[in-house]
Structure 1
Amino acid sequence: MTSTPRTVSDVMTKTVVTVTPAADFKEIVTALELWKVTTIPVIEGEGHVVGVVSEADLLPKEEFHGHRPGMIEQMRLPSDTTKARSLRAEGLMTSPAVTIRADATLPQTARLMADRRIKRLPVVDADGTLKGIVSRADLLKIFLRTDDDLAAEVLREVVERLFPLSRPDIKIDVTHGVVTLTGHVRDAHLIPVATRLTQAVEGVVDVRCRLEST
């Protein structure tokens, strides 16, 4: 009933700094610092994503700086000790990369980031070609929608569709993203539906439904 959900393509950054598998350690560190990012996609050919290099992938170089990992460390942290010895992106990167499609919804993307504990996701097409990158901060952009914009969508997509006859008796107030619905409606069983659909409007922080049946 509500409007089309916003997707990754609505919020992603399309200009992405990348490196190739042959990029050396200092080149990667320089790119991270220059572009103020924490993760860089590693691409081959015409932009096919083969992995990502993050700050976490580079830290073992410092962690084991000045001493060779012992046998116990190599057994306990095989990936970290290997990365500590690596000089190029191909040995430092996490592969395969966790990616997302541009048509994924923002909740789907947020769940993937939370599940995999990832701050930034390369956005790829069906062939795995890089199209952009999306970060946690990008997902929060949806909450920058103005109160007037949210009120207009709640009116159009929820109130006018659920309560066409009761519409004049319903007031929609939005303050800092919190929607308050007050008034009287004819169909009491639709009140919880109105609450659920209003909460589903992207950018809504919370809903306070004070609708009553006549």
Structure 2
Amino acid sequence: MKSPRTVDDVMTGAAISVDTGAQFKDIVETMREWRISALPVLSADGRVAGVVSEADLLLKAQGMDESRAVTAGQLMTVPAVTVAKDATIAGAARLMARGHLKRLPVVDGDNHLVGVVSRGDLLKIYLRPDEDIGAELRELLTAYLLPTGSAEVYVHVANGIVYLRGTVPDSATRDMVVRVARTVPGVVDVTATLDLGVSG
């Protein structure tokens, strides 16, 4: 089973969007129908031109927008905050946190809309079975970090928390083992009890 690492692995491929000419009422209806609070606005060639949100529409509804804007192209916020489909899940989470965003349009290298990712999508990695997390970590440790037999590390995973115990030759190796464990998708925390010395 492939472990989720990028936005492409967890995003929703069917993204609801509007074009720049969409009218105010149509935008409201689309948001209501799909129960979403923001919509990517696409140019004629399918690229993301901006995002129109409930906040943008409420400015008009409250009479605070005197620009006479009535279409998505006039109402949208530009530039749109988007995320590349090959961006890491952690990178997308930081982008959302920085902008206080619930959803991000996902784009390819040419800025064409390919999906949308939500906070809930990013949290899917924490539903990964403990057995999968443990198997991936053991494989990483065996293949890349501890092939010489100079260390003996036992891995146990419960509720996404990795427990490491055993013996490693030095503190640098111990730190590296913990760092690698933290990079495995789905890991909530790492607890290490690794003694320094010669294994066996």
Same fold (TM over 0.5): yes
Q: How does 1:1-214 map to 2 (within 5 A)?
A: 6-64=5-63, 81-82=65-66, 85-164=68-147, 165=149, 169-214=152-197
Aligned to 1:75: none
Partners of 2:13 and 2:6 in 1: how far apart? Answer: 14
Q: How many residues align?
A: 195
Q: What residue ranges of structure 1 are gaps of 5+ in the alignment?
A: 70-80
Secondary structure in 2 aligned to 1:45?
Answer: coil
Q: Which amino acid aligns with 1:177?
A: G
Per the TM alignment, residue 86 of structure 1 is displaced from its structure 2 partner at its CA by 2.6
Contact 2:4 2:125 in 1 (8 A): no
TM-score norm. by structure 2 comes to 0.88
Contact 1:8 1:101 in 2 (8 A): yes
- Cα distance change, pair 90–108 in 1 and its aligned pair in 2 (3 A): same
Partners of 1:186 and 1:37 in 2: how far apart? Answer: 53
Q: Aligned-pair RMSD on alpha carbons?
A: 2.2
What is the percent sequence identity of the aligned residues?
Answer: 45
Secondary structure in 2 aligned to 1:210?
Answer: strand
Partners of 1:10 and 1:213 in 2: how far apart? Answer: 38
Secondary structure in 1 aligned to 2:109?
Answer: coil
* Cα offsets for 1:74-117 (capped at 9, x unmatched): xxxxxxx246x432212211122111211111122122222222
Secondary structure in 1 aligned to 2:115?
Answer: strand
Q: What residue ranges of structure 2 are gaps of 5+ in the alignment?
A: none
Per the TM alignment, residue 159 of structure 1 is displaced from its structure 2 partner at its CA by 4.9
